[in-house]
Structure 1
Amino acid sequence: MVDFVGRRKELDRITGVLDAAEARTPIVLLLEGTTGIGKTTLLNAAAELARERGFQVGLANASRMEKELPFGVTRQMFEDVLSDLPGDEAESAFRVAGSRGSGVINATPADPLEAFEEVDVHQALRGLYRLTTTLTPPKPLCFIVDDLQWTDVPSLRWLNYLVCRVTRMPLAVLLSQTTGIYPESPLLIAELDFYAERVKIGGFADGEIAEMTEKLLGVRPAPEFISACAETTGRNPFILSQLLATMRDGATPPDEAAARDLARQSPDDLGGSVLARLNRQSPHLVRIARIIAVLEPPGVELTAAVAGTGAPEVADAVRQLVGMGLLANNGKLAFTHSMIQNAIANAVTHTERDEMHASAARYLHEVQAPDLLVAKHIRRTTAKLGTWAAANLSRAAKLAVVDGDPVTGADLLSRALKEDMAPNLRRDLLIRLGRAETYFDPHQAAVHLTAAMEYLVEPQAILGVACRLSQVLYLDARYDEAREVLTTSIDKVEPVDPVVGGLLRLALRVTVPTPHREPVHTHPAEIDPTWREGGVRGRLAGALIADYTGNAGEEFDLCRESALVALSGGVVAIMNDPQRLLAAVNGLIRTDEFDLALRHSDEIVLEARQHGLEMLSVLGYTLRSRVHLSMGALAAAAEDARLAVAPDQQSCVHSGHLSHVQTVEALVHSLLLLGDVEGAQAAIEPVGLRGTLPRSWQHTALLHVRGLLRFELGDVEGALADQLECGERLLAWGAPNPAHRPWRSHAALAQLRLGRRQEALQLALEELELARRWGAPSSTARALLAVAATTRDAAALPWLNEAASVLTGSSARLLRARVLSELGTVKWRIGQREAARENLAQAKVFAEACGSVPLLSALAELPAEAVCRSKALPAAPLPVGTGLTPHEFRVASMVVEGHSNVEIAEKLYVTRRAVEFHLTNIYRKLGVRRRTQLPSALKVRPGVG
């Protein structure tokens, strides 16, 4: 039996045909299938099988190149049979065939076949029939024709003549035909259908894919690999064999990892092989297939334009490619499998691709196709197409950016700049390109915005580009370059337009850290009298004013108002200006407008998700983490910080970039307040707990948080050093506002721990004075709490009472919990027991809602009669070895009790996302995957808390 992979059913049917022939019951079998499905392999296997059984085999391969040669296929069959006969038997056979029959076989120049008259053809057919009947007595006979659709007309007549006459003859006729190809004579093939049994050959089954894989690679494939192969190759044996050969050459095992990578595979020889098979049918099919593979055209008209032919000819070619199984039969010009398309496209040279896309772009421009469709082809050709191409790319880029895809927009603008154009158009394209690149490639953004500045004359245009360029440089801590951009612009614009000059001075003041207070000759709110009206310039002015007043700690109401003006058009109106967006939301946080800040942060995250803007996503998650921290939603803050860190680590920015440093700061701060000191230490590890941090805005904020961590780790001297350095930088840069970073109160606690009460009190009182001047309740309460910490017992009560009063109704729950906890503790110590219990009970409620393990632990250390046991702490000791925090154990216990995530969130006064965040950590620590596994992991019976 022939060694053949798969096709057991088809081989069994061929065996049945041979059995019938041996029993003198001739059968005609026609195998039909798409290109590469395995018809030729099956027929070759059938020929080998027939010879093993003693058949005389006449095998012929029809060809498009020989379709004009009369009796070409017939001659191949008889030559194959007669070549095995001894000389005298072959000579006798020729005599039986007669002059015309032997002339068909020999095709002698003296008797040219093309000179045959109709009567001669009939004589040839009769002679060949007599020859066939003469050959069969000693051995059965098997005629095989591959690619029947290309068989010449006389040979088709001969086959029809044969099969309609044989009734009791040891003869088998095996034929194959490729679907989709127009046959040389449809009527003659249709006549064969009267006598033939058609067998449709489909793709490989899973078992056959596994069998071929194991045979070629020597390894049994994983189930995932088999499924991926079926999807990627369309179960086509030819494509599968090419893929497996590539894997064999690369020693790639057929495992789950390989399965994930299959969709990107494109075997080197596949494209050439497919095109060679197409070329056997028609060079025209090759041309059309290459155009479709490269251009992915939307219709026949574009394909015809690029091919330089008519639409009807292309439609016919498409119909054939569909029938051959290469194109999908869904009305679109798309290949059935991406691997085939990639293989054919990869076989096209770069020069040919370039010409195809250029032709497509010209045609689509002429027929006024949509801009994005025309631009798709312009961007893929290097040919200079003219100013129309630059204009088209400019319009398409605008559509892409508006649709939230700045990467594509930047790519289109970069291509547009390669065309010849007027200077003003080049300037506009450079500006738009730099703005688009702000989101994903700040280095290139700086390059293109700098180039655009050389073309600018109009003050308003200089304002917009200078602010954007200085922001990009600021985000990258390139402060000297940012300063030069702004100062140069001020010198150029201020004599002509004092309003724009004033805005540039304000931008310089808030953008570039400097030990010298940059002069702002006019009050910020009066630089542009129309800023409250909003609009593009009004929103820019609002963000600058919010940033300026928020840093300086002056004019609380103006900061809030200007932040709201900056955001008056929603996030969408300002999202193309990341630093101003950051300044506006920070203005709301510093003025305790936490609900508004949260709403806008949510909007940033939503817009970033919808449009895939990675850097904006990082900004949104970081801001939302800050808001959650301010409101005391610690788990949510940590969750957002982790979400910010993940994409940021994968982005193109370096580790010192503002977006990266800010995410680390947010994560460390949230983990510290949750009580996860170990996690906070791991998060800051790349920066280090000691050593000098770069003198930038972002590293100064990180310096403050690092001081908090060092304090928790017991390094009080190091904590104090970090806080004092943070303060020195902020003061030098004109940012004394404690709402920016409350470094004084934390430095005061470090001084107090070191026994320096007077120094501690001085810092705390200084912060209180600044906080009262600013007027934000949270800043004032935090400073009052620090002052209270530096006094003793009853002396602390006035400060704490004022702090509690200031925070009445505030959504800063963690800060309220801390104030009430300290107030209740002091009252308990001086004997005000009932009032103390009330304060401590309120503190417990807020601490539970925030999930603050450090505060809950402090409450748990108080006498039992001072505060009832917190629901957020377990009644019994934590199970040994779980690694859970008390709050995590409480959440896990509530899950065991049967509570849903929503119910747990309601009972603990947290968000559902916070509960999900805790459960993720719980599952990880306990090594489980689902809720039902928690009881056994905790060794707690359901219903027991």
Structure 2
Amino acid sequence: MSEKHRYDIVVPTENIAPPVRSPTHGGTMRLIERDGELAAQSAALAEAEAGRGSVLLVEGAPGIGKTALVRAAGEQARERRFGVFTAVGGELDQELPFAVVRQMLEPALLLADAAARAELLADAAGLAAPVFGLGGERVENAVGNVVHGLYWLCSNLADRAPVLLVVDDVHWADEASLRFLSHLARRIADLPVLLLVAGRPGRMLDDFVARALSGVPPRTLCPEPLSADGVGTLVRRNLDAEAEDAFCRACATATGGNPFLLAEALTSLRADGVRPVADEAHRVENLRPDTISRTVLARIARLGPDAVRLARAVAVLGQNADLRHVAQLAELTVPAAATLADTLTREAIFAPGRPVGFVHPLVRTAVYLDSSEVLRASEHKRAALVLAKGEVGGEHLAPHLLVAEPESDPWVVETLNSAASTALGRGAPEPAAAFLRRALAEPPVPAQRGSLFATFGRTLGMANRPVEAAEALREAISLAEHPMQRVGLLFELGFVMLLIGRGREAVEAFRAAHAVVDQLDVDLSSQLSVALALADFTNIEPPSAWVRRLDEAATGLSGEGELDRMIMGLLAFGASATGDRPAGEVARLARSAATGPLPPRDQWMLVNMASSALAISDHLPEALEVLDRGLDEARRLGDASEFRYLSVLRSHTGLFAGRLREAEADGRAALDLWGESRPRDTPLAAAVLVEALLDRGALAEAQQVLTERGLDGEQPFDLLIGHFVLLARGRLRLQQNRAAEAVADLHHCGDKLFEHGYTNPSFAPWRPEAALAHLALGDIETAGRLAEQDLELARAFEAPRQIAMALRAGAAVSGGRAGLDALEEAVTILESSPAELEKARCLVEYGAAMRRAGQRKQAQEPLRQGLDVAARCGARLVVAQAREELAAAGARPRREMLTGRESLTSSELRIARLAADGATNKEIAQTLFLSRRTVEIHLTNTYRKLDITSRQALKPALDPEP
């Protein structure tokens, strides 16, 4: 391997590795005409040293000097006592799982002692352990968790000293490593880390920038070709100090100022004994870039056929080639290969150092392409066999087998299958899918095809390619010999169809499984019932239909197994959607579903069903506890996707409970983390945040969220998400005095819910808001009818919060004594309810009604109670109303707090509470998927607002004694 491919590992507290100089064919030299680029790299290192990380991209044509620049950055970083970790993308390495990441970070782990390694892989960083073959859980079903772990591994490395991460030839980086680089780039600003990447311009680099650095514009350095004067300097330094100007100008013209091409030209001129004088300038004209490969091949050929075979062997084996494997492939003894390698190094074909490698990728390309595609395929097959005899792991054989000609070789199929399994174990399904595709093309023996297609389908699903996954699973189903195999594969196909939103096709797959099961002496009715219920749920079928089916499956359930609990969760959710069972029974089912440990797979689904049913039936603390358990599990696994989704559910439940600051914080966290990765679910997070901001009195900000997320106009209606948007937007429109628009949104929401069988008013309380909107338009009749309908349905379901909402809406319509009685009943119903926000609203409305009825003195007590509850909730709209009513009732309302806990933002409060409970900044960052600097900034602001100076003072400041 050349110096370009060597790992640069520096642990500043230990031995410092010697600087790696920039080699040329003439030896060590100072970079010419690169002062601007060197200064930019130095400035970026200084920023990282100060804790402000960034991404720096060096872009340039082959041979322009990108590698020399990144080496120079490494030297500067070592002088500043950075930890320096480097990697180089390689053409063969593109199909190796986390090849670039492992080049960069694996040596730091493998060279560390047990205690240091445990420290580096502590907490969330431990999720990255399987990438390096260091144990930990297999990550096949949590691919996104691995990059989270790698981020924290980098953070742990940066705890020791600032870090420089270098990826040269990034255009050849593997897909799994690109996922990590993208994850890191979006979070690097708050780490003392500089990510320096270098690559050739063109489609591959554009693809890297578009995918890995999308939304993270890097600073870009584009080194220019050397000027004529710069070329002259190098000619005189490396060929002859007396070289004449005309000769130097000819060299500049012939090479275009490309440093590598110039070095190659000077090597050829020196070998041919050309004198650097004006009369010999015409000899330079033949050394154009398009002739360099021929000159390289000619120089190798002059060394004899053994040298040609050795060079070809290195070209085929790629970087990191071991000399013994090179010798075997070239059919040479190891001593003979070593001698020839030394000769090729002196001829500037190989770079100095071990393992053997070319001085530049362009040289390797010239040698590699000097044969037919068919011959190269044969050489790669031989290379794989040589490596296999040397007991090299299957994943290193696989890239060679990918380009080998299919030969129906069982060994190839077995090797690729094994390599796929290893890749999946490292959390890299993309190369695993490539290995399996090639194994199927070999092809395998007929008996293996079915199982391989099944594995291929599952792997494509993990790689987020569900359409291809479905195709592979269908092929596996057609090849399955045993009926139970077909049943299992049909289940898998059905769930893949659910994943991509093709609910009808999911139902078809599950029904096909049902047809097969009917012919067998097995009982899979429960599994099928759950699968069909999930498909119906995805298809927005009326819940009553799948609830009836599940009722049959629920007969005799113990409630202890995962399947039993999923059935109970679905039953609870379905009943909470229809209102066919009273709230107490719904809560009992949901409680049974959530009792015990969460299932290892799809735990978010059970948490979703159980927590939603508990919240809708007005058991809010239990709902929040279930969600917290789900969030804890998502944090443990580092699963940002589940964390985001459950954060939205917790935000929505927090609204019901009147925990508006927490609801806002959860909503913001989910929306910020989702970005563009879950466009279908983003409206859900936005809608919940809009409702939290609305109740917090931030109407302008709520409108901004709608506008920025494109939720202001007509939207394709997705019931499970769309009703959240319509309800939130309708409530906002009412507060904006746009009652007609509020009526339109709220009735659209109600019509769609009714159309799909979601008839429980507690599922989406649109009628009370619609009644108030009609009242604002003067349509008292419609307002009254809506309030009466809602009250009748709410009383049947028996959830106190919804009954109170209906009573409050009816009181606004009827007014007078009837309205006062309705509000008194609402306040009484909510006395023991955890629905604090609705309690505050009803208390304030009750006090206001009493004041209007002439009971000014009696009105003050419910108004003060409502003010206190609303203030605890952070419901500024209700606080403002209570203050106005108290003043009208002749009381002096307490001053609203502008400092202390009330002055904290939602994010500051969330972080402060974790810190008060003893979590470190690092633990808080890992818990909330934030950077440590973000946590530090929030805590600094919190200390200032609370007028405290220590962590120990947080808890009493946040929860003062009454």
Q: TM-score range by the shorter chain?
A: 0.5 to 0.7
1:532 alignment partner, SS class = coil
Structure 1 residues 682 and 775: CA distance shift in structure 2, 3 A: same
CA offset digits 1:764-805 (Å, max 9, x no partner): 343344344444444444444434444425534554455445
1:511 to 522, 532, 538: 538
Give the deviation of 1:586 after TM superposition: 3.1
Give the deviation of 1:756 after TM superposition: 3.4
2:559 alignment partner, SS class = helix
The code of the aligned residue for 2:655 comes to: L
Give the deviation of 1:420 after TM superposition: 2.5
1:28: which partner in 2?
none
Counterparts of 2:687 and 2:576 in 1: how far apart (Å)? 20
Give the deviation of 1:458 after TM superposition: 7.0
Task: Give runs of aligned pairs for residues 416-435 of structure 1, distance below 5 A.
Answer: 416-421=439-444, 426-435=449-458
The code of the aligned residue for 1:860 comes to: R
1:669: which partner in 2?
691
Tell me the TM-score normalized by structure 1. 0.58
Counterparts of 2:924 and 2:766 in 1: how far apart (Å)? 31
Q: Given that residues 707 and 720 in structure 1 are in contact (C-alpha distance below 8 angstroms), is that contact kept between their aligned partners in structure 2?
A: yes
Counterparts of 2:601 and 2:364 in 1: how far apart (Å)? 45
Task: Give runs of aligned pairs for residues 6-25 of structure 1, distance below 5 A.
Answer: none
1:224 to 43, 50, 73: 43
Q: Given that residues 574 and 580 in structure 1 are in contact (C-alpha distance below 8 angstroms), is that contact kept between their aligned partners in structure 2?
A: no
Give the deviation of 1:716 after TM superposition: 1.8
2:730: which partner in 1?
707
Structure 1 residues 696 and 469: CA distance shift in structure 2, 3 A: farther
Q: Given that residues 794 and 826 in structure 1 are in contact (C-alpha distance below 8 angstroms), is that contact kept between their aligned partners in structure 2?
A: no
2:578 to 540, 552, 558: 552
The code of the aligned residue for 1:627 comes to: T
Task: Give runs of aligned pairs for residues 743-892 of structure 1, distance below 5 A.
Answer: 743-792=766-815, 794-808=817-831, 810-830=833-853, 836-864=859-887, 865-866=890-891, 868-872=893-897, 890-891=903-904
1:683: which partner in 2?
705
Task: Give runs of aligned pairs for residues 201-212 of structure 1, distance below 5 A.
Answer: 204=30, 209=31, 212=33
Counterparts of 1:433 and 1:680 in 2: how far apart (Å)? 45
Q: Given that residues 460 and 468 in structure 2 are in contact (C-alpha distance below 8 angstroms), is that contact kept between their aligned partners in structure 1?
A: yes
The code of the aligned residue for 2:540 comes to: P
Larger-gyration structure (1/2): 1
Q: Given that residues 567 and 574 in structure 1 are in contact (C-alpha distance below 8 angstroms), is that contact kept between their aligned partners in structure 2?
A: no
2:845 alignment partner, SS class = helix
1:233 to 61, 71, 85: 71
Deviates more, 1:439-448 or 1:456-465: 456-465
Structure 1 residues 929 and 570: CA distance shift in structure 2, 3 A: closer
The code of the aligned residue for 1:767 comes to: D
Q: Given that residues 856 and 873 in structure 1 are in contact (C-alpha distance below 8 angstroms), is that contact kept between their aligned partners in structure 2?
A: no
Structure 2 residue 650 is matched with structure 1 residue 624: yes
Structure 1 residues 333 and 714: CA distance shift in structure 2, 3 A: farther
CA offset digits 1:674-724 (Å, max 9, x no partner): 333333334334655444633543334333333223323333222222222
Give the deviation of 1:893 after TM superposition: 15
The answer for unaligned runs of 5 or more in structure 1 is 1-31, 41-177, 179-200, 875-886, 936-945
Counterparts of 2:366 and 2:875 in 1: how far apart (Å)? 59
1:721: which partner in 2?
744
Q: Given that residues 833 and 866 in structure 1 are in contact (C-alpha distance below 8 angstroms), is that contact kept between their aligned partners in structure 2?
A: no
Deviates more, 1:728-737 or 1:802-811: 802-811
The code of the aligned residue for 1:224 comes to: A
Structure 2 residue 924 is matched with structure 1 residue 902: no
Structure 2 residue 601 is matched with structure 1 residue 574: yes
Structure 1 residues 781 and 798: CA distance shift in structure 2, 3 A: same
Structure 1 residues 451 and 385: CA distance shift in structure 2, 3 A: closer
1:684 alignment partner, SS class = helix
Task: Give runs of aligned pairs for residues 494-643 of structure 1, distance below 5 A.
Answer: 494=518, 499=525, 502-514=529-541, 518=545, 522=549, 524=551, 526-527=553-554, 529-530=556-557, 532-535=559-562, 537-538=563-564, 540-555=566-581, 556=583, 559-560=586-587, 563=590, 570=597, 573-575=600-602, 582-592=608-618, 594-595=620-621, 597-598=623-624, 601=627, 615-643=641-669
Q: Given that residues 827 and 843 in structure 2 are in contact (C-alpha distance below 8 angstroms), is that contact kept between their aligned partners in structure 1?
A: yes
User: Cα RMSD over matched residues?
Assistant: 5.9
2:885 alignment partner, SS class = coil
Q: Given that residues 24 and 263 in structure 2 are in contact (C-alpha distance below 8 angstroms), is that contact kept between their aligned partners in structure 1?
A: no
2:117: which partner in 1?
none
Give the deviation of 1:759 after TM superposition: 3.2
Give the deviation of 1:213 after TM superposition: 1.7
Structure 2 residue 754 is matched with structure 1 residue 731: yes
Give the deviation of 1:852 after TM superposition: 2.7
The code of the aligned residue for 1:693 comes to: P
Give the deviation of 1:407 after TM superposition: 5.1
Structure 1 residues 531 and 818: CA distance shift in structure 2, 3 A: same
The answer for unaligned runs of 5 or more in structure 2 is 1-17, 47-55, 57-65, 76-87, 89-165, 170-197, 206-215, 226-256, 265-292, 946-962
Q: Given that residues 41 and 73 in structure 2 are in contact (C-alpha distance below 8 angstroms), is that contact kept between their aligned partners in structure 1?
A: no
Q: Given that residues 743 and 774 in structure 2 are in contact (C-alpha distance below 8 angstroms), is that contact kept between their aligned partners in structure 1?
A: yes
Deviates more, 1:558-567 or 1:840-849: 558-567
Q: Given that residues 660 and 873 in structure 2 are in contact (C-alpha distance below 8 angstroms), is that contact kept between their aligned partners in structure 1?
A: yes
Q: Given that residues 892 and 934 in structure 1 are in contact (C-alpha distance below 8 angstroms), is that contact kept between their aligned partners in structure 2?
A: no
CA offset digits 1:473-492 (Å, max 9, x no partner): 45655454445444555555
Deviates more, 1:800-809 or 1:718-727: 800-809
Counterparts of 2:859 and 2:438 in 1: how far apart (Å)? 71
Counterparts of 1:308 and 1:596 in 2: how far apart (Å)? 71
1:881: which partner in 2?
none
1:736 alignment partner, SS class = coil
Give the deviation of 1:757 after TM superposition: 3.6
CA offset digits 1:531-577 (Å, max 9, x no partner): 72314x445534543443332234456655655666667556233x8
Give the deviation of 1:840 after TM superposition: 3.5
Counterparts of 2:915 and 2:801 in 1: how far apart (Å)? 25
Counterparts of 2:559 and 2:570 in 1: how far apart (Å)? 13
Q: Given that residues 781 and 804 in structure 1 are in contact (C-alpha distance below 8 angstroms), is that contact kept between their aligned partners in structure 2?
A: yes
1:212 alignment partner, SS class = coil
CA offset digits 1:847-896 (Å, max 9, x no partner): 3343333223323333345462353458xxxxxxxxxxxx999449999x
The code of the aligned residue for 1:233 comes to: R
Structure 1 residues 226 and 583: CA distance shift in structure 2, 3 A: closer
Structure 2 residue 238 is matched with structure 1 residue 213: no
Tell me the TM-score normalized by structure 2. 0.57
The code of the aligned residue for 2:34 comes to: T
Give the deviation of 1:750 after TM superposition: 1.9
Structure 1 residues 373 and 894: CA distance shift in structure 2, 3 A: closer
Give the share of equivalent positions with the same residue, in percent: 24
Q: Given that residues 553 and 737 in structure 1 are in contact (C-alpha distance below 8 angstroms), is that contact kept between their aligned partners in structure 2?
A: yes
Counterparts of 2:323 and 2:673 in 1: how far apart (Å)? 42
Provide the aligned length of Structure 1 versus Structure 2. Answer: 690
1:759 alignment partner, SS class = helix
Structure 1 residues 392 and 786: CA distance shift in structure 2, 3 A: farther
Q: Given that residues 288 and 314 in structure 1 are in contact (C-alpha distance below 8 angstroms), is that contact kept between their aligned partners in structure 2?
A: no
Q: Given that residues 632 and 850 in structure 1 are in contact (C-alpha distance below 8 angstroms), is that contact kept between their aligned partners in structure 2?
A: yes
Give the deviation of 1:524 after TM superposition: 2.0
Structure 1 residues 736 and 226: CA distance shift in structure 2, 3 A: closer
Q: Given that residues 542 and 758 in structure 2 are in contact (C-alpha distance below 8 angstroms), is that contact kept between their aligned partners in structure 1?
A: no
Task: Give runs of aligned pairs for residues 171-570 of structure 1, distance below 5 A.
Answer: 204=30, 209=31, 212-214=33-35, 223-224=42-43, 232-234=70-72, 259=219, 286=311, 290=315, 293-294=318-319, 296=320, 348-349=368-369, 358=381, 361-362=384-385, 386-387=409-410, 390=413, 410=433, 413-421=436-444, 426-435=449-458, 437-438=460-461, 440-455=464-479, 469-470=493-494, 472-474=496-498, 476-491=500-515, 493-494=517-518, 499=525, 502-514=529-541, 518=545, 522=549, 524=551, 526-527=553-554, 529-530=556-557, 532-535=559-562, 537-538=563-564, 540-555=566-581, 556=583, 559-560=586-587, 563=590, 570=597
